[in-house]
Amino acid sequence: MNVMTTSRRKFLTGSAAAAGGLTIGFHIPFDALAQQKPAAPAATPEINAWVVVKPDDTVVVRIARSEMGQGSLTGLAQLVAEELDCDWSKVTTEYPTPGQNLARNRAWGNFSTGGSRGIRESHDYVRKGGAAARMMLVQAAAEQWKVPAAECTAANSVITHGPSKRTITYGKVAGAAAKLTPPTDVPLKDPKDWKIAGKPLKRLDTVDKLTGKQVYGVDLQLPDMLNAAIKDCPVFGGKVKSFDAAAVMKRPGVKKVVQVGDSAVAVVADTWWRAKSALDELPIVWDEGPNANVSSATIAAVLKEGLDAKEAAAGNKVGDVEAALKAPGVKLVTATYGYPFQNHATMEPMNATAKYTPQRCEVWTPTQNGEAALAAASEASGLPPAQCEVYKLHLGGGFGRRGAVHDWVRQAVAIAKEMPGTPIKLIWSREEDMLHGRYHPITQCKLTAALDEKGELTGMHMRISGQSIVAGIFPQNIRNGLDPVVFQGLNPPGPEASIGYTIPNLLIDHAMRNPHVPPGFWRGVNLNQNTIYLECFMDELAQAAGKDPLEFRRKLMANHPKHLAVLNAAAEKAGWGKPAPAGVFRGLAQCMGFGSYVAACAEVSVAKDGKIKVHRIVAATDPGHAVNPQQIEAQVEGSFVYGLTAALYGECTVAGGRIEQENFDTYPMMRIDEMPKVETVIVPSGGFWGGVGEPTIAVAAPAVLNAIFAATGKRIRDLPLKNHDLKTA
């Protein structure tokens, strides 16, 4: 490994040391030199890919998934530590690099951190990693004492030989344990016996975030590094026609002006501010192409046509909905909803630092998927993956933007390729970040349902029209026009994103209509709008049937006990059926997604001037196993901020083919003054593993919209709320 990387290691480990040992920085694991000379005596050998125990008993747990705020780093460490039976106060963490994973035949499995999968899709093998390491440590102690391993027990990083009462710490036998053959049969604990997992432990990564020492992508410093600012054609699909580099080359600090791909121009300077200022002054002529004619209105018209189009892909079909809707004597209820484009707006804008030589390409970047970043670096550099490396830096928010596509990595590598040997740090301005997102998909939904004389729901057709994320990002996964992810929360009964109602005649189908605005996986993904469509319409049906919204739902949910249990938990805790404070009205919503069952009851008042206040939200979550209740609470609270921001303000509109909102002045966010009290009820029913970073977002908007209806009698069917006037006086 080269000088640059070594300096970075020193810098990062130095910052961690300064924090006082309560937490550690995310330094590159493995002493790079020891890797090249495996016999280096100073290196602490790993027990297995997941666990290193140092002679001073420090436990290093390797974390393959990225920490982007949702706490999975701490949760994963808890799971490993639980099975390792180690002293939690001695646990630290580190990221293996994507290059290491590649070189070791993916010893750490998948690096992808999205879809609330961090824990739910790796709990089994990380726990086995911890358990196998414990078995090897115990075996090593037994061999040292020349006693049967079965006579030894492990707890809190100490191995005890029962008969002789001898003890030894993990650190003392780690070296010997590392040489043992790993066990093949690795039993795991029953979660009811957990002592570290399942407990409301504090996060491992807090201290440096309070002192400014935490190094995010934008903070990286490398010797001789230059900085770059970039402007991509604001109209998606447009190209660079020309630019006048000479106009800015004499500005202070400017080193180079480069075209990046066919659609972007970057300025490289000694500081980022100088690069950005020069870029602002750089004359660029764009060839905007045909998309320059697209607007929000033209997109809406295309989606509207899809609502009644003949062709659509069915995602959930039960009975004969056509007949049910035509049956004599039924009351038909119909409504059309819509959900807008939104930007992820991570607080840290997209950024990457790249260093290219004809032999090697290195990238330092905050990413939700280090392996995808490595693939992007390889493609952009033209070097095979084995000659590339990615060092994951802490993420200032991810929310899905930093996972599936690594457009900013490709750009950084392309710029670095123009200046071989010089590290280039590319930071997007907020404006660039707003104009070049991978947006929450835009859809509309038309729902038509039949109620019989008794007010029972006999049939429902739910037609979704609009954008497919999968078609935009992984088009190879679209089969016969069907994007299965579009039906999140609406799937037939099963372990993932299933609908919580039994409706005798049901058709949920999708007419795919893909505008030119690139879609992305936006925290909560398609569960967000699908839950609004379904849960608000359920409220409309309850009203049409003259029934209480909770009672109406309960009757349809008898065969969905987990969905029902969280709905009941939220409703009971909120006091559904009992009087709310004067002027306050309640609304309900429930859904299942990302492996978990969630429900919310919102308490809302609407003033005469139309001002909405969300006073209190009670939220219930059944994630199967609750790995860290305190972090689940934090995710539920945070999900309401994300979900309520979307409901109140979230909207990117299109004019002239480009996004109109360029910064937080026109793309506002909910702030502390609008934050309701959140009461979290965790009802883990066991037997499965659900995610917690996303599902609750989906119930935020429909619970509030249903409460607004209760308060005002007005049905809001398209978001955000800022576009609606709820004035009554």
Site for other proteins in 202-231 (CB under 8 A): 202-203, 205-216, 218-219, 221, 227
- CA-CA distance, 392 to 73, in Å (whole number)? 13
Q: Phi/psi at 134 (nearest 5 deg)?
A: -60, -45
Q: Smallest distance from the beta carbon of 671 to other proteins, in angstroms?
A: 5
CB of 621 to other proteins, least distance (A): 11
Q: What is the C-alpha separation between 278 and 280, in angstroms, rounded? A: 5
Q: Is 254 in the site for other proteins (CB under 8 A)?
A: no
Q: Which residues of 1-14 are buried (b: 16+ CB within 10 A; e: fewer)?
A: beebbeebbebbee
The minimum distance between CB 203 and other proteins, in angstroms, equals 6
Select the span of 459-467, 490-498, 581-589, 671-679 touching other proteins (CB under 8 A): 671-679
Binding to other proteins (CB under 8 A) within 272-291 occurs at 272-274, 277
Identify which of residues 157 and 639 has a Cβ nearer to other proteins in the complex: 639
- What character string, x for contact with other proteins (CB under 8 A) and - otherwise, covers 553-572? ----------------x---
Cβ of residue 380: shortest distance to other proteins, in angstroms?
A: 25
Residue type at position 604: V
Q: Which is nearer to other proteins, 677 or 727 (CB)?
A: 677
Residue 11 is a binding residue for other proteins (CB under 8 A): no
Residue closer to other proteins by CB (options 444, 621) is: 621
Minimal distance in Å, beta carbon 52 to other proteins? 25
As a whole number of angstroms, the distance between CA 355 and CA 361 comes to 6
- Answer for which of 109, 237, 319, 629 binds other proteins (CB under 8 A) is 629
CB 268 within 8 A of CB 226: yes
7 binds other proteins (CB under 8 A): no
Interactions with other proteins, residue window 65-84 (CB under 8 A): 68-71
Tokens of 562: 């987990």
**Which among 425, 355, 387, 44 has a CA at the least distance from the CA of 215?**
425
Collapsed DSSP state (helix, strand, coil) of residue 449: strand
Establish if 394 lies at the interface with other proteins (CB under 8 A).
Answer: yes
Which of 242/271 has CB closer to other proteins? 271
Pairing type for strands 360-365 and 388-392 reads parallel
DSSP 243: E
- Residue appearing with tokens 């939104």: 342
User: What are the CA-CA distances from residue 274 to residues 233, 322, 453, 673 (Å)?
Assistant: 21, 63, 71, 36
Nearest one of 561, 621, 568 to 596, comparing CA atoms: 621
- Restricted to residues 30-59, the positions that interact with other proteins (CB under 8 A) are none
Site map for other proteins, 411-440, x if CB under 8 A? ----------------x-xxx---------
Which is nearer to other proteins, 461 or 562 (by Cβ)? 562
Amino acid at 195: K
What is d(CA 26, CA 4) in angstroms, rounded to the nearest whole number?
Answer: 16
Scanning 100-108, 199-207, 284-292, 308-316 for contacts with other proteins by CB under 8 A, the matching segment is 199-207
Answer for which of 87, 288, 407, 633 binds other proteins (CB under 8 A) is 633
The answer to the question of residue 249 lying near other proteins (CB under 8 A) is no
Cα–Cα–Cα angle for 627, 149, 51, nearest 5°? Answer: 40
Q: How far is the CB of 97 from other proteins (least distance, A)?
A: 21
**Which residue bears the tokens 């602490």?**
44
Give every CB contact of residue 361 below 8 A, 6+ residues apart in sequence.
Answer: 354, 355, 377, 378, 380, 381, 383, 387, 388, 389, 413, 416
Please say which residue, 175 or 668, places its beta carbon nearer to other proteins.
668
> Which pair of tokens denotes residue 632?
């689940």
Residue labelled with tokens 């995010």:
216
Q: Does 89 bind other proteins (CB under 8 A)?
A: no
Q: Are 614 and 604 in contact (CB under 8 A)?
A: yes
- Subset of 689-708 contacting other proteins (CB under 8 A): none
622 interacts with other proteins by CB under 8 A: no
Return the residues of window 438-477 that contact other proteins according to CB under 8 A: none
User: Which of the ranges 165-173, 298-306, 332-340, 625-633 carries the binding residues for other proteins, by CB under 8 A?
Assistant: 625-633
Q: How far apart are the first and last CA of the chain?
A: 70
Beta carbon of residue 729, minimum distance to other proteins (angstroms, whole number): 24
- Can you tell me which of 115, 397, 437, 520 binds other proteins, judged by CB under 8 A? 397
Between residue 306 and residue 365, which ones bind other proteins under the rule CB under 8 A? 345-349
Q: 279 Cβ partners below 8 Å, 6+ apart?
A: 229, 230, 231, 248, 265, 266, 267
Q: Between residue 103 and residue 162, which ones bind other proteins under the rule CB under 8 A?
A: none
Burial class (CB in 10 A: 0-12, 13-18, 19+), 498: buried
One residue of 10, 14, 20, 475 binding other proteins per CB under 8 A: 20
- DSSP label of 106: S
Residue 457 or 564 with smaller CB distance to other proteins: 564
| Candidate ranges 271-279, 292-300, 584-592, 599-607; the one touching other proteins (CB under 8 A) | 271-279
Q: Which residues partner with 229 through β-bridges?
A: 267
Instruction: Report which of 644, 615, 606 is spatially closest to residue 726, judged by C-alpha positions.
Output: 606
Q: Does 14 bind other proteins (CB under 8 A)?
A: no
How far is C-alpha 279 from the geometric centre of its chain's CA atoms?
Answer: 32
* CA separation, residue 482 to residues 148, 312, 511 (Å): 58, 8, 9
Please choose, from the candidates 470, 513, 510, the residue with its C-alpha nearest in 3D space to the C-alpha of residue 490: 510
Nearest-approach distance from CB 13 to other proteins, in angstroms: 17
252, 358, 561, 581: residue in contact with other proteins (rule CB under 8 A)? 252
Tell me the C-alpha distance between 154 and 170, whole Å.
Answer: 9
Q: Which is nearer to other proteins, 456 or 679 (CB)?
A: 679
Considering only 189, 679, 685, 688, the residue that binds other proteins (CB under 8 A) is 679
**Torsions phi, psi for 69 (to 5 deg):** 120, -25
Q: Which of 648, 644, 651 is nearest to 340 (CA)?
A: 651
Closest CA to 705 of 718, 686, 693: 718
Both tokens assigned to 695: 């599902």
The one among 149, 249, 683, 726 contacting other proteins by CB under 8 A: 683
- The site that binds other proteins (CB under 8 A) totals a number of residues, namely 73
Q: How far is the CB of 345 from other proteins (least distance, A)?
A: 6
647 scored as a contact of other proteins (CB under 8 A): no
Among 236, 487, 521, 642, which residue sits at the site for other proteins (rule: CB under 8 A)?
642
Q: Residue 355's closest CA among 402, 395, 409, 394?
A: 409
What is the x/- site pattern for other proteins, positions 581-620, by CB under 8 A?
----------------------------------------
Shortest reach from residue 190's CB to other proteins, in Å: 21
Of 173-181, 287-295, 639-647, 711-719, which segment contacts other proteins by CB under 8 A? 639-647
Our CB check for other proteins shows the closer of 466 and 693 to be 693
